Chains A and B, each alone.
Chain A
Amino acid sequence: MTDTATQPRSYEPGNHPDLPPPLLTSGPLAWVKHNLFGSPLNIALTVISLYLLYLIVPGLLNWAIFDAVINAGSREECKAIAAGACWALPAIRFDQFLYGFYPDHLHWRINLTAVLFFLALLPVLWDNAPFRKQWLIYSCIFPVIAFFLVVGGLGMEEVETTKIGGFALNVIIGVTGIVASLPLGILLALGRRSQMPIVRTLCVMFIEFIRGVPLITLLFVASTMLNYFLPPGTTFDLILRVLIMVTLFSSAYIAEVVRGGLQAIPKGQLEAADAMGLRYWQSMRLIVLPQALKISIPGIVNTFVGLFKDTTLVVIIGLTDVLGVGRASLSDSKWQGLPEEVYVFTAILFFVCCFSMARYSTYLEKKLHTGHKR
């Protein structure tokens, strides 16, 4: 190969010697060339990203991990030990961040509720669960169990609703909002696709109204105005009013998700059901909804992620959710001046939950797609 000059210029057909393999088509070096330095633009992008990483990563790691302090009694102590983040505040008040002012000796009830919730969720998401039917009955009565576990009663110590707070409050509002809004959202979606003009108009008006205004104004309605609409003399708790508003809010979004699912069901299915002599509710219950809801699940999970993030807004109307607890801790003169730590801690808490749910919904979407691809 080295002395090419001596080799003949032409070959008989079929006698051409093998050419050397092209350089850099596989292996790490090829990958680097193709993915990082393929073209001048690519090289520029690589350099810029490396520079960005260099700017962000060391500083962030130093602040959050290497120079951070976790054992300290106050901000002053923290700053005396190292210059980085002062995780001592969320560490010392960890229970408060999770449970708010819920009595210490009753935290197990919140934890138990959380475990029971996952048990109730399993049969809904897992098609081949053993004893699924019986299990689903448990899922249906779970909200009642959860209510008594959280608030008390039935012989258990009662807890004032104002004491419920922290991350638990966010979860309670988010989960209740989505669960309670499912039936309402399905009804609204069916109503929006109904043949009856009045029902349809009412549903469209409701959905578009709710989707057209920000959640915070609805929470203001809950905190300042809802009581006026109740019979004189009756009131109920702020948390309950918030739950009602959040349910109405998310039902409009769920309705749109379910409507998407309904639209994906071919018309022939309904016509076939009609031909079989099924009534409207029968065909909906037995044929359309099971299919429509199944393809709506990723959308419902996404709606839940959005709602869950929005539960932080309740801090604006004076409920002590995880953000409220964080801000209250910041007003303690021992811990003043640590907003970054509190907000970053809360952000991580939310990120872990929301990101995993978002990944789950992507996974479901992929699973559903293969089902339709054939």
Chain B
Amino acid sequence: MSKLKVLLAASALTVVGAAGANAATLDDIKAKGFVQCGVSTGVPGFSFTDDAGNWQGFDPAVCQGVAAAIFGDTSKVKYTPTTGKTRFTALASGEIDMLARNTTWTLSRDADLGFTFVGVNYYDGQGFMVPKALGVTSAKQLDGASVCIQTGTTTELNLADYFRLNNMSYEPVPIETNEEARTNYLAGRCDVYTTDASGLAASRAAFDNAADHIILPEIISKEPLGPLVREGDEPWGDVVRWTLNAMITAEEYGVNSSNVDDMVANSDNPEIRRLLGVEGNVGEMLGLDAKWGYNVIKQVGNYGEVFEKYIGSNTPIGLERGINAQYKDGGLIYSPPIR
């Protein structure tokens, strides 16, 4: 019977000990020395592995920014590739600290699944891609078509609603990953491939004959994509949120990785001085080093730089800024003031 007591006591201890460790993600990260970041298994431009096997792209850049803010070192990130199915459980279980993967901010995910979206780093919408040879010019002409969709995403719900509301029928061809969807689409298993417009552009860029495929003008949904963290740990959520905001603010005020040293020395704009830690104590408020903002801009770059580097018009992906321009330029990218 004494064995039993020991077991009981041990299990009780484990529970207590572990429960205490759950709340303060930021302290945990500082203690273990790296950020565990969930990314997608591969969307050209948004997240991919380079030749050396390191994760790069528009989404991992947010993780690198967070690592720069906490440690001043972008390499202190470990990546976990997640699929549409595993991403939420990975985050919920604490396997990853943050999820930077093209994930749409919706009410149910925010409220019901128990996550907090800390911001939007790309405003997207669901579109359709078809081979030019079909002669289709509008999504309204797709009645009766076979449509390839990635399962486990909001796209299949939008798709069902769109076709139902327009009184059209279709054959859904559900597919697990992006690359399989592409294989099936190219083999003619489906007439249409639908996902976020950015994803379509990225996929099309990888085709041998990209010009043979067109993206239809209809955008059938709002897909604000952004990084998310577990609900209930505000200090950690704040770090991710304001890292993203720092990158956006830096672009707004013209601070970039090449002129940031100059700005530290010479700028007299109080917003810039606060961002770079020359003035005030915003870093301390976040529980970070005073130079957190400087490190993010210096090592990762501002929002515009990251956009142009991975998915901008000079890359094979070739996305225009569009609604993802700064609010001053008529876009939606907007950061609350850093003060």
Using a CB–CB cutoff of 8 Å, the interface residues on chain A facing chain B are 76, 101, 103, 160, 162-163, 223-225, 227-228, 230-235, 238, 316-318, 327-328, 330-331, 333, 336-337, 339
Contact = CB atoms under 8 A, between A and B. Distances in A.
A162 B42 contact: no
B314 to A, nearest CB: 19
Interface of B: 14-15, 17-22, 41-42, 49, 53, 78-83, 85-86, 89, 92-95, 176-180, 182-183, 186-187, 206-208
B18 A327 contact: no
Contacts of B177: 327
Contacts of A317: 83, 85-86
Q: Which of A160, A238, A317 has the most CB of B within 10 A?
A: A238
Contact of A318 (B19, B21, B41, B49): B41
Given A232-B18, A330-B183, A336-B186, A224 B86 contact: yes
Contact of A233 (B21, B79, B92, B183): B21
Contacts of A223: 85-86, 89
A230 B208 CA distance: 47
B239 to A, nearest CB: 19
A333 B82 contact: no
Contacts, number: 79
A153 to B, nearest CB: 16
B82 A318 contact: yes
Contacts of B79: 162
Most buried by A among B53, B82, B86, B93: B93
Contact of B19 (A232, A235, A328): A232
A231 B85 CA distance: 23
A312 to B, nearest CB: 15
A249 B192 CA distance: 40
Contacts of A328: 42, 179
Contacts of B208: 76, 333, 336
A318 B94 contact: no
B151 to A, nearest CB: 12
A238 to B, nearest CB: 8
A75 to B, nearest CB: 9
Contacts of A316: 176
Contacts of B81: 162, 318
B229 to A, nearest CB: 15
A163 to B, nearest CB: 7
The 10 tightest CB contacts between A and B, nearest first, are A331-B179, A227-B93, A231-B18, A233-B18, A233-B22, A233-B21, A333-B206, A224-B89, A318-B83, A235-B95
19 contacts: A76-B208, A223-B86, A224-B89, A227-B93, A227-B94, A228-B93, A233-B21, A233-B22, A234-B94, A238-B86, A318-B81, A327-B177, A328-B42, A331-B42, A331-B179, A333-B207, A336-B182, A336-B183, A336-B208
Given A224-B86, A318-B81, A318-B83, A233 B179 contact: no
Given A162-B81, A327-B179, A231 B19 contact: yes
B87 to A, nearest CB: 10
Nearest to A226: B93
Contacts of B94: 227, 233-235
A220 B332 CA distance: 39
Nearest to A339: B183
A85 B308 CA distance: 40
A76 B208 CA distance: 10
A232 B15 CA distance: 7
Contact of B93 (A103, A235, A331, A336): A235
Contacts of B18: 231-234
B201 to A, nearest CB: 15
A337 B93 CA distance: 38
A331 B182 contact: yes
Contacts of B78: 160
A333 B208 CA distance: 7
Contacts of A318: 41, 81-83, 85-86
Nearest to A333: B206
Contacts of A227: 89, 92-95
A350 B150 CA distance: 30
Contacts of B86: 223-224, 238, 317-318
Contacts of A228: 93
Nearest to B87: A318
A230 B21 CA distance: 13
A231 B14 contact: yes
Contacts of B186: 336-337
Contacts of A76: 208
